Amino acid sequence: MDSENENLSESELTNINESLEIAESLARASQLTSPSAEKRLRARQLELDARNDPNGFVPPKNVLMYLVRMGSFTSTYTYDNGDHEDNDINLPESMSQEKLFESLQINANMKLPRCFLHLNSTQVSNSDLRVMQWNVLSQTIGQHYDKFVLTPRRALDWKYRRGNILSEIISYLPDVICLQEVDHFEFLRRTLATQGYTGVFNPKPDSPCLHVKDNNGPDGCAIFYLKNRFETLKLKQTVLPVWTINSNQVAISIQLRDIRTNKSVCIATTHLKARSGALMSSIRKEQGRALLEFVNETSEGNAAVICGDFNAEPTEPVYELFSKSSLNLGSAYAYNGEEPEYTSWKVREEGEQRQTLDYIFYTKNNLQVNSVLKFPTGCEIGECRLPSLIYPSDHLSLVCDMSFK
């Protein structure tokens, strides 16, 4: 460790955020003594306040590798398990929603209703595209890592959660579905196929799930769409780079042709780097910059919708980057000039977190938003917050209706 620290300048070391003293204490208390853990702790120590550096701080390459590629700060070993936990499901190629729910013993009536807010009432019935955005919460992360202190144990059981996840998706009949933290892709692929969907999955290179012994494979991003409604024109998947180094965050971009209207739309999704701090915020901005370039290449000037868990509040640089992009993007839920008060509301060991992290961006030149799905109130969510027996993720789903201009 001492020899590695010599590679850092004195100014870099003196800029270490005071909050990292707490991180160091917690790490020592956790007895993170392996060489790998020490290196990851050192990466954590570089949570620098970039606002003190007008040029922005770029970490040394060896440290940056740990920052952007690691799946977990605290895990050392990897367990390469496969997607196997849903082998008990045997479904035909096609079936009604009612029969599907009956087959999986899903009680669709227990979910609290969420209604749509109509922003353009004259166009609601003529909407061309319904898009869903949702971080569904990785089963491995949610059950073994996130420490939801108020969530009932049953709410985190996969055999229970999977029914609620499927019910949430299907009940809104989206044309296109963008998901993050998917670590049970086979379940979604097989069940959604019975409703006419096809999908693509892009796993993280170093998913944190793989550092937990009882995992079901890596988590990643997925896009599903109605296969009798759209024709795939172009499909691209990528790992988002940060300062020329591939990170642990992925993206999918797919250009679809609407068979009914013959118009094309590019759908993209991602899940940006988590954790707070100025350096992590800078990493998210760099990932956002790479994502915009990636989408621009795939969309080829056509309409575009970019969905994702950005792990960033609207005050972060990556949000401003998207708002001022040459793609002329708008945010579907910023219909009153401001984003909603929350898209995620959870209670972990470190306290309650009520944040706006999830977005549906769209190209304002050729798309307009007609309606959005309202969020449940705090009373409807309940005192235990998310996830719960009703809401299976620590993030709420976003759904909006759009039409081509």
52 with 102, same domain? Answer: no
**In 120-216, which residue ranges form alpha helices assigned H by DSSP?**
139-144, 158-171, 185-193
Q: Tell me the CATH number at 139.
A: 3.60.10.10
* Spatial separation of the C-alpha atoms in residues 47 and 65, rounded to whole Å: 14
Q: Does residue 67 fall inside a structural domain?
A: no
The answer to whether position 200 is within a domain reads: yes
Residue 144 and residue 28 in one domain: no
The pLDDT score that the predictor gives to residue 45 is: 55
Query: Number of structural domains, the chain?
Result: 2
398 closest CA partner among 367, 376, 366, 365: 376
CB 235 within 8 A of CB 199: no
Question: Does one domain contain both 218 and 342?
Answer: yes
Domain co-membership, 108 together with 49: no
Is residue 62 one of the residues assigned to a domain?
no
In the three-class reduction of DSSP (H, G, I as helix; E, B as strand; rest coil), residue 235 is classed as strand
Residue 75 lies in a domain: no
Same domain for 15 and 163, yes or no, is no
Helix (H) or strand (E) holding 129: strand 129-135
Q: What is the pLDDT of residue 42?
A: 56
Structural domain includes residue 74: no
Identify whether residues 277 and 361 lie together within a single domain: yes
Return per-residue pLDDT of the chain as tens, 405 residues. 344 444 455 555 444 444 454 444 444 444 444 555 555 555 555 554 444 555 566 777 776 777 776 654 444 678 889 999 999 999 999 999 999 999 999 887 777 779 999 998 777 778 999 999 999 999 999 999 899 999 999 999 999 999 999 999 999 999 999 999 999 999 999 999 999 999 999 999 989 999 888 899 999 999 999 999 999 999 999 999 998 889 999 999 999 999 999 999 999 999 999 988 888 899 999 999 999 999 999 999 999 999 999 999 999 999 999 999 999 999 999 999 999 999 999 999 999 999 999 999 999 999 999 999 999 999 999 999 999 999 999 999 999 999 999
Q: Is 97 helix (H, G, I), strand (E, B) or coil?
A: helix
In whole angstroms, what is the distance from residue 161 CA to residue 136 CA? 10
- Look at residue 84 and tell me if it is in a domain: no
At 51 the pLDDT is 46
Two tokens at 105?
A: 């013993």
Q: What is the pLDDT of residue 65?
A: 73
Among 222, 218, 165, 215, which residue's Cα sits nearest to residue 197? Answer: 222
How does strand 358-363 pair with strand 303-309? antiparallel
What is the per-residue pLDDT for 109?
73
- Asked if residue 264 and residue 196 are part of one domain, the reply reads yes
Q: Does 82 fall in a domain?
A: no
Tokens of 65: 């590798």
Rounded to 5 degrees, φ, ψ at 340 are: -60, 165
Which residues neighbour 190 within 8 Å (Cβ) at sequence distance 6 or greater?
Answer: 86, 89, 91
Q: How far apart are CA 185 and CA 191, in angstroms?
A: 10
CA distance 176 to 225: 4
The verdict on 102 and 160 lying in the same domain is yes
Q: Tell me: do 270 and 195 sit in the same domain.
A: yes
CA distance 400 to 31: 47
The Cα 128–Cα 260 span in angstroms is 9
Instruction: Please tell me the distance from the alpha carbon of residue 185 to that of residue 207, in angstroms, as a whole number.
Output: 14
Which domain does 46 fall in, by range? 2-57
Largest CA-CA distance found in the chain, in angstroms, rounded? 67
Q: Tell whether 175 is covered by a domain.
A: yes
Instruction: State whether 29 and 121 are in the same domain.
Output: no
Task: Mark whether 107 and 168 lie in a shared domain.
Answer: yes
Q: How much is the pLDDT for 366?
A: 95
Nearest CA to 59 among 41, 45, 77, 71?
A: 45
Are both 211 and 106 inside the same structural domain? yes
Two tokens, residue 156:
């985190």
Residue with tokens 């915020």: 281
